[in-house]
Structure 1
Amino acid sequence: MSDEPSLKDSYLLRPDPTDSRLSTTVSGIDQNGRPVDTQVVTEKALTLYLNSQEVVTMMTIGDHPDLLAVGYLKNQNMLRADDVITGIDYDDDLEVVVVRTERETNYEEKLKKKVRTSGCAQGTVFGDVMESFDEIRLTSDARLKTSWLYKLTKTINTTPSLYLEAGAIHGCVLCQEDKALVYMEDVGRHNAVDKIAGWMTLNNVPAHDKIFYTTGRLTSEMVIKTVMMGIPILVSRSGFTAWGVDLARRAGLTLIGRARGKRFIALSGEDRIDFDMEPSSAEDEPDKVRRKGSLAAE
């Protein structure tokens, strides 16, 4: 009997690829000129306000706007740890989400120091984020057993998702030991990260014992956001950028890439890894995941 259902029991929140709002069927032709129908993900604008100030307009698939908004503000240092959120208002017709806080906020100067990143769908990081980045100290007590890593990759790669159904999307998963807890997807990997950051913020979830998994590249933005969230371990099925590696080493982040089936490469924070399982005992990736990875993960 397959153990696949039990592998997914740990999820608190995960993708719903059957949600008709998130993808649509489009007709075209294939390489042989024959008619074909294929699933494509939706993409819509979402303008974020913090109290009365417009902050940014993001391109997103449109699910969980509340989590995306809170996570974005948290990761950009616009929400402080002691801030009290008094309301989150979303208007689907206007494509606007407003986060309201007890504290009066004004980030006019901060918004002028915007840096466009390599993240797809217009990722941005504000200049003063790096000042906080250098002050963060990730816990040295966190561990990653290779048996956890192999089980997590199997769980995530066999979870029904838009990534597997339609491609052109990135997934991020919050994990604890060998359990996948929250799985978010979006057209931009930074949006998927921010949704998880928002979920953690609104549910007061600690970060020191968590593992973060992404289907996308390990860029500087991915490293910055993971460190800003206080998560000590970042794993990807994809590759690295040089600046991403440099920042991970600077912050003491465990950085693992090209985690596919039995294989992975660690380029930072290797001392957190416990090699408790032989790679030969792990399973290779399913063919469908391998094909999607070669086309979409990079």
Structure 2
Amino acid sequence: MDTPDLQVRPDPADPRLTRRVTGLDHTGAEVETSVTMERPLTLYLNGQEIVTMMTILDRPEDLAVGYLLNQGMLRAEDRLTAVDYDDDLGVVVVRTEARTDFEEKLKKKTLTSGCAQGTAFGDLMEGFASVRLSTEVKLRTSDLYRLLHRINTIPSLYLEAGAIHGCALAAADQPLCYMEDVGRHNAVDKIAGWMFRAGVSGADKIFYTTGRLTSEMVIKTVRMGIPILLSRSGFTAWGVELAREANLTLIGRCKGKRFTVLAGEGRMVFDADPRYVEEESAKHWRKNSAEAE
């Protein structure tokens, strides 16, 4: 099958993203391996420091805008006047045409289950109940199997060094954008920021993540207006409950020909015979089983 032609893809050859480190293996023999780099990025909104997050720092502008959108500090109607990144200082500044209400957001915090920096400012559920996801979008299982195969064959930092999460935005069986980072919430925010800056709608899209299907993942996907969320990992009870409330199609445990749908089943079209679907390669199975959870 062809390698997907993504609009945004990882660059595992970027020397800033990994480092070679020597150590010992289980037999005591010396080994050399690649490890993922993480660096601090401090985010400012209109001159106000918001947060410092740990990230691989490959797409700081998208990460900054997506973080602010998913924390409710930016809204879809807000107009950006500048997004400036300084590599030497590790600082990104987002400027808007009109003043935002982020000061109020900073007064309230909700601790989420996201790995790494997992604090969501403000009311995590703000705007969630008012989102209406498209009910016309369908996901054919034949497209699902092709999509998973294409995502698994994308050259990635995950396969190069591990210790990282990946997220993809797709349409039918075609991945459009693939982002990686040390925390799954960072990878989600990068895609949200890219969608906002590129003017890409989520109404007919599919969101893929290597991470768990938690309440945070469901809320962010719904707020991006994406009707289908899938993962190779498992579910949390609140994630399932929120997905059913929002009519989000929630598909987990996607490994090879197997998957489980726990919400939004009406969008599924079972047109593929699993007997003729190839199992996932051992390389992806071992890595993902060991690290994705």
Same fold per TM (> 0.5)?
A: yes
Matched residue type, 2:56: I
1:96 aligns to 2:91 (yes or no): yes
C-alpha distance in 1, partners of 2:165/2:60?
Answer: 16
Task: Name 1:286's counterpart in structure 2.
Answer: 281
Deviation, structure 1 residue 112: 2.0
Which residue of 46, 51, 54 maps to 2:49? 54
Instruction: List 4+ stretches of structure 1 deviating above 4 A.
Output: none
Percentage of identical aligned residues: 65
Task: Name 1:24's counterpart in structure 2.
Answer: 19
Deviation, structure 1 residue 7: 3.5
Aligned length: 293
Q: Deviations over 1:197-233 (max 9, x none)?
A: 1111011111110000011111111111101100000
Deviation, structure 1 residue 30: 0.5
Deviation, structure 1 residue 170: 0.1
Which residue of 72, 75, 81 maps to 1:86? 81
TM-score between the two structures when normalised by the length of structure 1: 0.96
1:247 aligns to 2:242 (yes or no): yes
TM-score between the two structures when normalised by the length of structure 2: 0.98
C-alpha distance in 1, partners of 2:166/2:77?
Answer: 29
List gaps (5 residues or longer) in structure 2: none
Q: Is the 8 A contact 1:48 1:54 kept in 2?
A: yes
Deviation, structure 1 residue 109: 2.3
Matched residue type, 1:265: T
Deviation, structure 1 residue 19: 0.6
Q: Deviations over 1:86-124 (max 9, x none)?
A: 111111121110001101234222112111211111122
C-alpha distance in 2, partners of 1:107/1:158?
Answer: 40
C-alpha distance in 1, partners of 2:96/2:103?
Answer: 17
Task: Name 1:205's counterpart in structure 2.
Answer: 200
Task: Name 2:4's counterpart in structure 1.
Answer: 8
Deviation, structure 1 residue 165: 1.5
Deviation, structure 1 residue 129: 3.3
Deviation, structure 1 residue 132: 0.7
List gaps (5 residues or longer) in structure 1: none
CA RMSD, 1 decimal = 1.0
Deviation, structure 1 residue 24: 0.6
Q: Is the 8 A contact 1:116 1:122 kept in 2?
A: no
Task: Name 2:127's counterpart in structure 1.
Answer: 132
Q: Secondary structure at the match of 2:125?
A: helix
Task: Name 1:277's counterpart in structure 2.
Answer: 272
C-alpha distance in 2, partners of 1:173/1:206?
Answer: 14
Matches within 5 A, 1:40-79: 40-79=35-74
Q: Deviations over 1:117-154 (max 9, x none)?
A: 11111122233231311111111111111011100110
Which residue of 218, 223, 234 maps to 2:218? 223
Task: Name 2:227's counterpart in structure 1.
Answer: 232
Q: Is the 8 A contact 1:125 1:221 kept in 2?
A: no
